[in-house]
Amino acid sequence: MNVTSLFSFTSPAVKRLLGWKQGDEEEKWAEKAVDALVKKLKKKKGAMEELERALSCPGQPSSCVTIPRSLDGRLQVSHRKGLPHVIYCRVWRWPDLQSHHELKALDCCEFPFGSKQKDVCINPYHYKRVDSPVLPPVLVPRNSEFNAKLSMLPRFRNPLHQTEPHMPQNATYPDSFPQQPAGGLPFGPSSPATSYPGSPCSGPAFPHSPSSSDPDSPFQMPETPPPAYMPPDKPMTECPQPMDTSLLVPNLPLDINNRPDVQSVAYEEPKHWCSIVYYELNNRVGEAFQASSTSVLVDGFTDPSNNRTRFCLGLLSNVNRNSTIENTRRHIGKGVHLYYVGGEVYAECLSDCSVFVQSRNCNYHHGFHPTTVCKIPSGCSLKIFNNQEFAELLAQSVNHGFEAVYELTKMCTIRMSFVKGWGAEYHRQDVTSTPCWIEIHLHGPLQWLDKVLTKMGSPHNPISSCVLPPCRKKMRPAGALPFLQCLSTLSHVRTVAAVRRYFQMSGSAPTCTVSQRKSIYVEALSHHVAHLTERERTLLDRLYGGLTGGHRASLAESITLVETQHPRKKELAQVLLQRVLAFRREQERLNGGKPVAFRVGLSGPPGAGKSSFIEVLGKTLTGKEHRVSVLAVDPSSCTTGGSLLGDKTRMPELSRDMKAFVRPSPSSGTLGGVTRTTSEAIVLCEGAGYDIVMVETVGVGQSEFAVADMVDVFVLLIPPAGGDELQGIKRGIIEKADLVLVTKSDGDLVVPARRIQSEYTSALKLLRKKSNRWRPKVLRVSSQTGQGIQELWDVMLQFRDGALLSGDLQARRQEQQKVWLWNLIQEHALSHFREHPAVRTGLAEMERGVAQGDISPGLAADLLLRAYRSP
């Protein structure tokens, strides 16, 4: 027993007050909190008696019990700081209280915490707990037709009202704002007479807002941000709200018993109120965090305890992380605290550096432009979403059509960056340019929208025809991700019932509605994921997490899973592939719709120096901060089926490079110089963050060019003195080549290399051009001296940039996807043909008859196909 505990003493007043303690709050902490309060109340006459009276008679009226307000508004108890009214409400009334946002002062309280007076009332019975409001159901007209003239979309997109600028505006939340008059309506679009100068019509540029003079004071800031600066020559009444609610059709009545033309869609609280996704620049890192607790902390630390209330960004690894991202991550610190209380979402900056938030709901509430970026200084908080206002907007939007409701999906996604901001006042123009940022998807509003859209049915124009910003045209908005989560693990329609129902919708050209397609895809997806065991789910989650984190071991294991012939593992591979495809689509969306990787196909005869050339080019590219993956194909034995897999040994330097990944694979009898799963392996490499993907084929002949249907640029390597002059004009692989390289152009082979270059240059002129934009070029390179490597890379970039500008690259990839589809169909069709009962019964007899000459092969094939088609 130590001296401190021997002489410890608890005063009778503290013991009496502790008698009313609620819950299992920590005894020592509660005792110290009450002891600190007693010391303050002893200085005021009658304060102790009034507090005891309030605690002993909860239902009786009581007076305010006040203590002086500290400089930062907080009270420190045993190395823990908190707001005084929250601390004592937690001790005596609600042990599960998390935030001051959950409390609201009663009208009888003269010194509430939000009044900014010198004293603050800590009487726990002068505050009430904020309950989650019950949102009214949205009434959706049963008739989905609507007048296009009533569409709300022009009000969102009309240049005279709200043209989204290339750079979002900025607003800073200071530490003091003018207070509203007592009993006044809250600022927001619900009061048409109130107009904010932050609207787009207030001027061509958004002025600088005042910054916080004391960022360490989180309690000088009320709930509502300040109105922005208004030039004196423009009255406030001339500036409309972002959406003029006076022009909207009024809300439908809630009494729908005698209204057969409408149907009610109620709000339901989901199990996880939001999901949080972490990004570094335009790369997503790690899995999405599902928030089940109403209080979530997003910080930059590590917490191996797997706490469900913390999203620890320090645990997420990314091998593609640069020094700027590393420095930014060091300053995230305590990060941001997200509260979901009473249907409202609050963000509190706990970091020493500011956080920057873009919330359309918050901007709409305060009259700001939809793309305004709000700066929250350290220690300050901001309400970033309000379910009640969202419900009002949704009730109004259903009267204006399908696309007006779909437009609200953007409001359900909130973006937040740490340390570094973006917008008009910063050199970063987009959130994807910030080193560390998160995207928050609100599940409740999104699921509500989903149900409303399902009730409304298909719009007159497909949703893909909506006019989006130029960088996202014909792409879904960021907030629409939860609508399509059921498709994120879809490989393709596999069940017979789903296929039949899909094509019966409208004949041979199916054009089903959004809800119909969704139900079909969900049914088809169940073929793959319905019977996954816990071990299989864990395997897929581990592979996907490691793959998107850039780990080479996870990438190698994923390719092995894709290459397997085991039926069950092939189904697991399809689920993994679809998740990676969804991840890649998201990366392309963040990249402005452009591909995230450049695919290069390399082919040539045996001995052309392909492996040596790839190692030199790969080392050059990794030196330029590129991440390079090489998929090398080795020939398989025609007798044993084995393969030496020696390509990796011929690239020793590149194999040891941490920015490179070399994967040899056997051809397994597949013609064309590639493997059966090369296309799948390319997708996995792109998902792992490799921006250069090279595919090296086996030593091929003149008619093996399957790799050309998998890559963006096809390069043919020719050794010097490799044949006669007519080799250049033979049809086949030369017609597919975008570039022709004459290798080994060094030493005694320089002269033959120049001759071969001249011959192929002349031969290419005789061939029909594949594109009006590009004519294939013939270059000389040397892997030994490095001559021509940089020139070759410049030509490749010229080819890529031209193809992107003209749209040829996107069209080429779309055609490659179709080729990939038909290759899989042919592969599976042949397998199904062999397994058909009628075919298996007659196949042996037909083979015997063909071998003995009793029946021609053509007639035998016709008979087998007829047996296959018979019911």
Angstrom distances, CA of residue 145 to CA of 139, 442, 443, 453, 845: 15, 29, 28, 13, 63
Q: What does the pLDDT average to over 65-86?
A: 82
CA distances from 672 to 366, 419, 625 (A): 62, 51, 32
Q: What is the CATH number of the domain that holds 115?
A: 3.90.520.10
What domain range is 355 assigned to?
263-463
Looking at 228-232, 529-533, 752-756, 816-820, which range is the least confident one?
A: 228-232
Question: Is the pLDDT at 259 greater than 80, yes or no?
Answer: no
- CATH for 578: 1.20.5.170
Long-range contacts of the stretch 557-563 (C-beta < 8 A, 24+)? 558/684, 559/663, 559/665, 559/677, 559/680, 559/681, 559/684, 562/677, 562/680, 562/681, 562/684, 563/665, 563/675, 563/676, 563/677, 563/681
Inform me whether the pLDDT recorded for 275 exceeds 70: yes
With a CB cutoff of 8 Å and minimum separation 6, the contacts of 691 are 596, 597, 598, 626, 627
Are 675 and 785 members of one domain? yes
Looking at residue 568, what is its pLDDT?
Answer: 83
Number of domains in the chain: 5
For residues 765-783, average pLDDT: 82
Res. 133 pLDDT band, cuts 50 70 90:
low
Mean pLDDT of 241-257: 38
Q: What is the pLDDT of residues 492-525, one digit of tens each?
A: 333 344 444 444 443 443 444 444 444 444 454 5
Q: Specify if 756 maps to a domain.
A: yes
Q: Are strands 283-291 and 80-82 parallel, antiparallel or unpaired?
A: unpaired
CA 65 to chain centre: 49
Residue 38 — φ and ψ, nearest 5°?
-60, -40
Same domain, yes or no: 401 and 457: yes
Are 385 and 441 in a shared domain? yes
pLDDT tens digits, one per residue of 33-55: 888 888 888 888 888 888 888 88
pLDDT at 3 over 70: no
Confidence of residue 732 (pLDDT cuts 50, 70, 90): low
Q: Are 604 and 717 spatial neighbours (Cβ–Cβ below 8 Å)?
A: yes
Q: Which of 76, 107, 129 is the last residue of a domain?
A: 129
Residues 557 and 676 in one domain: no
Q: How far apart are CA 274 and CA 12, in angstroms?
A: 47
**837 and 759: one domain?**
no
pLDDT at res. 251: 42
CATH number at residue 670: 3.40.50.300
**pLDDT tens-digit profile of 107-129?**
889 888 888 788 889 888 898 88
Domain limit, last residue, from 129, 146, 165? 129
Whole-angstrom distance, CA of residue 412 vs CA of residue 365: 14
pLDDT at residue 817, as a whole number: 82
Q: Which residues, including other chains, have CB under 8 Å from residue 525's CB and lie 6 or more apart? A: 486, 487, 489, 490, 491
> Could you give the CA distance from residue 47 to residue 62 in angstroms, rounded to a whole number?
11
Q: Could you report the per-residue pLDDT of 662-714, keeping only the tens digit for each? A: 988 776 555 544 667 888 899 999 999 999 999 888 765 544 567 778 888 98
Q: What is the DSSP string of 221-251?
A: --SSPPP----TTS-GGGS--SS-GGGSPPP
3-state secondary structure (DSSP) of residue 694: strand
The predicted model gives 776-789 an average pLDDT of 89
What is the CATH classification number for the domain harbouring 429?
A: 2.60.200.10
Does position 440 have pLDDT exceeding 70, yes or no?
yes
Residues 581 and 619 in one domain: no
- CB within 8 Å of 701: residues ≥ 6 apart: 605, 732, 733
Q: How far apart are the first and last CA of the chain?
A: 90
- Same-domain check for residues 804 and 825: no
- Indicate the pLDDT class of residue 203, thresholds 50, 70 and 90: very low
Model confidence pLDDT, tens digit, residues 581-603: 888 888 888 888 888 899 999 88
Range among 99-108, 542-551, 697-706 with highest mean pLDDT value = 542-551
* 793, amino acid identity: W
Most confident of 497-511, 515-529, 563-577, 641-655: 563-577
Residue 482 has pLDDT above 50, yes or no: no
Which three-class secondary structure state does DSSP give residue 288? strand
Contact between residue 675 and residue 657 where contact means Cβ atoms under 8 Å apart = no
pLDDT above 80 for 280: yes
Task: Please give the pLDDT value at position 187.
Answer: 34
pLDDT in tens, 807-836: 888 888 888 888 878 877 887 788 788 888
- Residue pair 141/262 in contact (Cβ under 8 Å)? The answer is yes
Instruction: Round the CA-based radius of gyration of the chain to a whole number and report it.
Output: 34
Same-domain status, 738 and 621:
yes
Q: Which residue has the higher pLDDT, 269 or 464?
A: 269
* pLDDT reading at 185 higher than 80: no
Which of 611, 137, 705 is closest to 391 using CA atoms?
Answer: 137
Q: What is the mean pLDDT of residues 359-380?
A: 89
Average pLDDT over the chain, rounded to an integer: 73
Mean pLDDT is lowest, of 285-289, 508-512, 855-859, for: 508-512
In terms of average pLDDT, the best of 185-199, 669-683, 853-867 is: 853-867
Which one, of 677, 495, 651, lies nearest residue 573 by Cα? 677
- Max mean pLDDT among 182-196, 350-364, 645-659, 770-784 falls in 350-364
> Does residue 383 form part of some domain?
yes
In angstroms, rounded to a whole number, what is the distance separating the alpha carbons of residues 360 and 385? 8
Q: Residue 114 has what pLDDT?
A: 80
Q: Residues 758, 832: one domain?
A: no
Give the C-alpha distances (Å, rounded to integers) separating 758 from 127, 740, 750, 752: 89, 11, 12, 10
Answer yes or no: is 218 within a domain. no
From 810, 834, 856, give the residue that closes a domain: 810
Average pLDDT of the residues in 406-412: 89
Question: 693 with 615, same domain?
Answer: yes
Q: Is residue 172 part of a domain?
A: no
Q: Span 1-16, mean pLDDT?
A: 56
| pLDDT, position 830 | 82
Distance CA 585, CA 579 (A): 10
Residue 284: closest CA among 439, 450, 444: 439
Per-residue pLDDT, averaged over 154-179, amounts to: 44
How far is it, in rounded angstroms, from Cα 863 to Cα 847?
12
Residue 834 placed within a domain: yes
Residue bearing the bigger pLDDT, 465 or 351: 351
pLDDT at 174 over 90: no
Q: Does 223 fall in a domain?
A: no
Cα 545 to Cα 16: distance, rounded to the nearest angstrom: 54
Q: Between these two residues, 837 and 193, which has the higher pLDDT value?
A: 837
Asked if the structure places residue 238 within a domain, the reply is: no
Rounded Cα distance, 145 and 401, in Å: 8
Higher-confidence residue of 22 and 397: namely 397
Nearby residues of 717 by Cβ (< 8 Å), 6 or more positions away: 602, 603, 604, 608, 609, 610, 613, 741, 743
Q: In this structure, are strands 437-442 and 413-418 parallel, antiparallel, or unpaired?
A: antiparallel
Claim to verify: residue 660 and residue 758 sit in the same structural domain = yes
Contact between 569 and 576 (Cβ < 8 Å): no
Give the C-alpha separation, 502 to 365, whole Å.
Answer: 43
Do residues 704 and 671 make contact, with C-beta atoms less than 8 angstroms apart? Answer: yes
Same domain, yes or no: 575 and 630: no
Could you give the CA distance from residue 696 to residue 681 in angstroms, rounded to a whole number?
A: 13
Q: Is 453 a domain residue?
A: yes
φ, ψ of residue 375 in degrees (nearest 5): -95, 125
Assign 171 to helix, strand or coil: strand
pLDDT higher at 260 or 273: 273
